[in-house]
Structure 1
Amino acid sequence: MNILYHHRTRGRHVEGVHIRGIVNALRELGHDVAVMSFPGADPEHDHEVPAGGASASAASAGNGRLAGLVTKLPGVVFELCELLYNAVTFVRMSRAWRAAPPRLVYERYSLFLFATVWMARRRGIPIVLEINDSALVERVRPLTMRGLAQRVERWCFHQATGLVFISTYFRDKAAAAYGDIAPSVVSPNAVDLPSFDPSKFDRDALRAARGLSGRAVCGHIGVFAHWHGVDGFVEAIANQLESAPDLALVFVGDGKTLPAVRDLVAARGLSDRVLLPGRVPHNEVASWIACMDYAVLPNSNHYGSPMKLFELMGMGVAVVAPDYAPVAEVIADGHTGWLFPRGDATACVELVLALASRGEECRRVGEAARDYIASERQWRNNAEQLLTLVPAGAAA
């Protein structure tokens, strides 16, 4: 079946990982997939910016400049640009469909984007929307024209052939707000398991090279931002590390709060116990996870499905995580990870400290986490699930 994957994102970092995961999984299932990206973006070939800061390609750099300029616009102007992008989509889709009509359109849904749904319905082509964002939830960038965004979203959710939500909470919220939405499935994020295979790494050599030999290692992968709670967690546990003398922390990532965390670690004299390597290319993430005995997710949100959770579990590293519903859908407390009451920083720190001396439990739970990922949370599972929303005649 010819499938057109459409998205209006920059296609970088976690977005790019998700796009490549779904596209490659659909191709492995025997489908022909073409990707239509935001002009200048190419998540299939552009890689993350290396640690040295050089761009992966001229196209990626151009995309970054264009998208960076747009995101700096005032709220209402930015949202008007999002609306105007429907005209761009209409022109590009019309050309693509004349050249090679798809049997299915799969779109990573974006606010104010309705042209693809309208065109697919008019031509009788099934369209499935993947819902990672919504006008119903609080976003990093405040939404100015919320009422209009919700009206557009309601129409899209009703007119689409099917909807793929990243969590049950997200689907329930949409159904409560918009009523009888299109048929839907819940597909949390997933992982490319061959790329996150602990047997590919010399764990002892990696730990020795990074000064972690002989220690219990708790890690984290992700953006340093206030809503992820990394800065608060490090500050809280810094006062208690003396109670777990063999514990080392490895927090991989970059963001606004990283400088403050580095200053705190230096001021407390903890540089030998708290490693902060900064952001690393995605293809190096697994080597850092291979050094960990267990991991921590200090905070999340009510609707999200953190990609880092699946990559950690895929490497056989179980996670201490807050009990938000989407996280609890993935982690079985005490079996594939450990849950603490969301918002309870003290409970999180206490659990992390206690696990430092429970190495056998960490290994057992980590193995169960990887088994769960292997059986249910590979990108192939997501691709198979989304295809159940497509009418049988369309796939013929």
Structure 2
Amino acid sequence: MIRSPGATSLPTTTRSIPSLRSRPFGARIRTSGASRRSPRALWGRSIRPPRQQPWSAPIFRGLSQHPRFLGAVLHSDLARRSYVDAGVDPDRLLTAHNGYDPERLSPRLSRSEARARCDLPGGRPTVTYAGRVTMEKGLGLLLEMARALPEAQFAIVGSEGEGEVERQAAALDNVCVVPWQPFDDTVPYLYAADVVVIPPTVAPLQDVGNTVLPMKTFLYMAAGRAILAPASPDLQELLHDGENAALVPPDDADAAIRRLRKLLNDPDECDRLGHAARDDIQEHTWPRRAERVLNFLEERRNRRERAGS
């Protein structure tokens, strides 16, 4: 089942944090022809770690040895290790996981309230995926799970048009494909779920190489619903099998289907995992992340000033 298109997209980036913008920690460089009194700021938008771009290793290694280099902030230990392996001083690297805004998940809804708002069946176990709807994100595996579990309702939220996922989903009575939604309209689909899914494949991390600790991880945890995900090295920084999530071997469809069936047949286990995930993510709000980043940079700056005195 394909629903009609929506108007806007689910944001995947954070809102600006004034406390970070007001602090003068941007890296500055002089460009060719610029006067010594007019330094230019260089900001990177999509810098890939040396693990993905080996040619960049000597660049980062050299930059990190500059006397005015304070440090770098990475969003995962996996990314941090890539820079350490490239020769960057580990003391100058901080892992500060991304986060979420608690206010944007309010009001909290019960499953029945959320399903009514989303026009989903109230009496069927529900599985939700929210994010980019492409085969590259592992949605083929999610559709395979839906075929094996016809008793469950699957909501795939984030469609941007007609593609292979939408084509295959149209043939499945238990799959509802929902267009891109404004953020506030996406959250109820998370609350409607018994289980929220990060497709259990490592393709986005290894093959495509552009997804490490996806932002949906933080929203899923904050929603307090049981999470089914792959046991990949990035996700295991926050998700722990049997403690706050159900992790399965990546790209093992049979294992994923068995684990999902077990979860859907055990509402108490779903609630236990969901509550644990919500408890564990409380320290990962954007303001807390900003504090960690600022404290790290302040400490690095103070250390540099002491060394120069």
Taking a change above 3 Å as real, the CA distance of residues 361 and 129 of structure 1, as seen in their structure-2 partners, is: farther
Shift of 1:221: 0.9
Q: State the secondary structure of the residue aligned to 1:200.
A: coil
Match of 1:365 among 267, 273, 277: 273
Aligned-partner residue type, residue 265 of structure 1? A
Shift of 1:151: 4.0
* Distance in 2 (alpha carbons) for counterparts of 1:266 and 1:225: 15
* Distance in 2 (alpha carbons) for counterparts of 1:196 and 1:137: 35
* Distance in 2 (alpha carbons) for counterparts of 1:158 and 1:297: 38
Aligned to 1:232: 141
* Distance in 2 (alpha carbons) for counterparts of 1:135 and 1:200: 37
Q: Which runs of 5+ in 1 are unaligned?
A: 1-11, 35-101, 106-115
Q: State the secondary structure of the residue aligned to 2:163.
A: helix
Is 1:386 the counterpart of 2:300 in the alignment? no
Question: For the Cα contact (< 8 Å) 1:323–1:342, is it kept in 2?
Answer: yes
Is 1:154 the counterpart of 2:61 in the alignment? yes
Aligned-partner residue type, residue 33 of structure 1? R
Shift of 1:344: 2.0
Q: State the secondary structure of the residue aligned to 1:389.
A: helix
Structure with bigger RCO (C-alpha 8 Å, 6+ apart): 2
Q: State the secondary structure of the residue aligned to 1:321.
A: strand
Aligned to 1:103: 24
Aligned-partner residue type, residue 263 of structure 1? R
Aligned-partner residue type, residue 103 of structure 1? P
Q: TM-score, normalised by structure 1?
A: 0.62
Aligned to 1:305: 213
Aligned-partner residue type, residue 339 of structure 1? L
Provide, for residues 113-171 of structure 1, a one-character-per-residue CA deviation record: whole Å limited to 9, x for no partner: xxx4425xx89x9x998997425244xxxx7xx63x44433333444311111111111
Question: For the Cα contact (< 8 Å) 1:161–1:390, is it kept in 2?
Answer: yes
How many residues get paired?
Answer: 278
Aligned-partner residue type, residue 221 of structure 1? A
Question: For the Cα contact (< 8 Å) 1:217–1:293, is it kept in 2?
Answer: yes
Aligned-partner residue type, residue 201 of structure 1? L
Provide, for residues 201-259 of structure 1, a one-character-per-residue CA deviation record: whole Å limited to 9, x for no partner: 3642331351320111111111123331012321x2243124xx2x1111111358x62
Is 1:189 the counterpart of 2:98 in the alignment? yes
Aligned-partner residue type, residue 313 of structure 1? M
* Distance in 1 (alpha carbons) for counterparts of 2:65 and 2:271: 46
Shift of 1:317: 1.4
Aligned to 2:159: 254
Match of 2:177 among 276, 300, 309: 276
Question: For the Cα contact (< 8 Å) 1:130–1:163, is it kept in 2?
Answer: no
Q: Which runs of 5+ in 2 are unaligned?
A: 1-8, 31-35, 303-309
Question: For the Cα contact (< 8 Å) 2:146–2:154, is it kept in 1?
Answer: no
Higher-helix-fraction structure: 1
* Distance in 2 (alpha carbons) for counterparts of 1:158 and 1:254: 45
Is 1:136 the counterpart of 2:50 in the alignment? yes
Question: For the Cα contact (< 8 Å) 1:163–1:182, is it kept in 2?
Answer: no
Shift of 1:330: 0.5
Q: State the secondary structure of the residue aligned to 1:339.
A: strand
Question: What is the percentage of aligned positions where both structures have the same residue?
Answer: 23
Aligned to 2:258: 350
Aligned to 2:29: 118
Aligned-partner residue type, residue 104 of structure 1? F
Taking a change above 3 Å as real, the CA distance of residues 32 and 362 of structure 1, as seen in their structure-2 partners, is: closer
Aligned CA-pair RMSD: 3.2
